[in-house]
Amino acid sequence: MADALILSGGVAKGAFGAGVLAVLLDEVPDLHITRVVATSSGALNGAFVAAAIRSGQVQGAGARLRALWIDDASFGDVFEVSAHGIAAREGISTNARVLSILQRSIPPSTARHPVAFQLVVTATAGYVDPASGSSATTFERVLSFDGATFDDAEKLEGLFAAVTAAAAFPVAFLPVELELDGQKVACYDGDLVDNTPIGDALVDPEVTRVFVVAPYPAVLAPHPKDRHGFALLEHLSDILVNERLYRDLREARAVDASLAQLEATLDPASLAKALSALGWTGRRRVEIVELRPDVELGGTGFGAFFSKELREMYVAVGERSARAWLAK
C-alpha cells in the first residue's frame, strides 16, 4: 500500500504546505509516499519532497523546507523585476530567482529510492488530446518525471524549468518556455487549469491513501467588493482554485461511495463486469485526507513575500492542521 501527495499552490501561501509536510514527513510513522502531484507554489514543495524521497533523506526534509519558506521566500529572494517583461506586458518578474532557489536546494540524488513526480502547467498553445476520444482542445499539460530524473544534473535542469512554469503566476511572472511535442510553448501556473489533480495521483494502483494539501478552508468567508489590482487578481485565482478543488473532491467522494455500494451488492465477477461497463476498471476505494486550514489564512499570497511573520504564521497553521489530523 502506498500514499500520494497532492500539493496545491496559493503563491506564498505555499508556506502552509511546507508546515503540513514538516509534520507528515517527520511524525507520521506509516507514511509511504510513492507519488507526488503538484502545481503552482505547491510544485516547489513537491520537487523538494520528491527529491528527498529519491535520496532517502525524508527525515528532516520537512524542517528544511519549512526553513526555506520562512528565511528564503522574501520579495527580494523570489522576484527579479523585468523591464522587458513589463514593456511587453508579459509579466513583472523573471523566474531566475525561483530557479536559483531550486538549484541551490535540490542537488542530484545519490540514492535510488522509487518516486514519481507530476506537474500541472497551463500551456498557452492548446492541443487536441488523441486519447480523449473526441476533438476538443485542452490547455492542461501534466508533465511526468520518474525517479531517475533526480539523479542527473542535466535532467534536473529540465525539471526545474517545468517547476518554474508550474509556479509562474500570470502577470506576476513571465511565462516559461517548455518543449512540448517538439515545439516551444509558453507556459504558466497550473492553478489556471487544475489545482488539485486527484485523478493523476490514482494512476498508481498501489496508492490507497491520498493527502490533499491546500491553503484554503473548505468554507470561505465572503470578501468585500472593493478589491482591486493584485488583490482582485489573487481573489479571482482563489475562486478558480477552490471551484476546481470543490468539484474534484466531490467527484472523488462520489466515486468512492459508488464503489462501496457496488462492492456490497455484487459478487466479484459481476463487480468486474460493472466496473468495465462504467469505464472504471482499475478504480478502487481510496482514503482521501484533506489537510486544510480551519479558517481563511490572513494576509495575501503576494503580501506574504513582504512579511516573514505572515510566512511563519502560514507554516504554523500548516503544522497545526497536520497534527490535528494525526491526533485523530
**Gyration radius from the chain CA atoms:** 20
Confidence of residue 224 (pLDDT cuts 50, 70, 90): low
In the 8-state DSSP scheme, what is residue 312?
H
Percentage of residues in the chain having pLDDT higher than 90: 58
Dihedral Cα 6, 9, 14, 20, nearest 10 deg: -20
Report, as an integer, the average pLDDT of 195-215: 82
Q: d(Cα 304, Cα 297) in Å, to the nearest integer?
A: 11
Kindly tell me the burial class for residue 81, based on how many C-beta atoms sit within 10 Å of its own C-beta (0-12, 13-18, 19 or more). exposed
Task: Return the pLDDT at 275.
Answer: 82
φ/ψ of 140, rounded to 5, equals: -85, 130
Report, as an integer, the average pLDDT of 215-232: 74
Task: Return the pLDDT at 278.
Answer: 81
Task: Return the pLDDT at 45.
Answer: 96
Task: Return the pLDDT at 225.
Answer: 64
Task: Return the pLDDT at 33.
Answer: 95
Please say whether the beta carbons of 306 and 74 come within 8 A. Answer: yes
Asked whether the predicted pLDDT for residue 144 surpasses 90, the reply is: yes
Residues in Cβ contact with 77 at an 8 Å cutoff, skipping those fewer than 6 apart: 97, 101
- What angle separates helix 61-71 from helix 308-327, to the nearest 10 degrees? 150
Confidence of residue 38 (pLDDT cuts 50, 70, 90): very high
Q: d(Cα 143, Cα 270) in Å, to the nearest integer?
A: 36
Q: d(Cα 238, Cα 236) in Å, to the nearest integer?
A: 5
Q: Which residue has the cell 459508488?
A: 258
Q: d(Cα 12, Cα 122) in Å, to the nearest integer?
A: 19
Neighbours of 206 (CB within 10 A): 11
Q: d(Cα 49, Cα 46) in Å, to the nearest integer?
A: 5
How much is the mean pLDDT over the chain?
A: 88
With vertex at residue 47, the alpha carbon angle to CA 45 and CA 49, rounded to the nearest 5 degrees, is 70
Percentage of residues in the chain having pLDDT higher than 70: 95
Q: Which residue has the cell 490572513?
A: 298
With vertex at residue 48, the alpha carbon angle to CA 167 and CA 58, rounded to the nearest 5 degrees, is 155
Tens of pLDDT, residue by residue over 299-323, are: 888 889 999 999 999 999 999 999 9
Tens of pLDDT, residue by residue over 59-102, are: 889 999 999 999 999 999 999 999 999 999 999 999 999 999 99
Task: Return the pLDDT at 306.
Answer: 94
Tens of pLDDT, residue by residue over 115-140, are: 999 999 999 998 887 765 667 888 88
The pairing of beta strand 183-189 with beta strand 2-7: unpaired
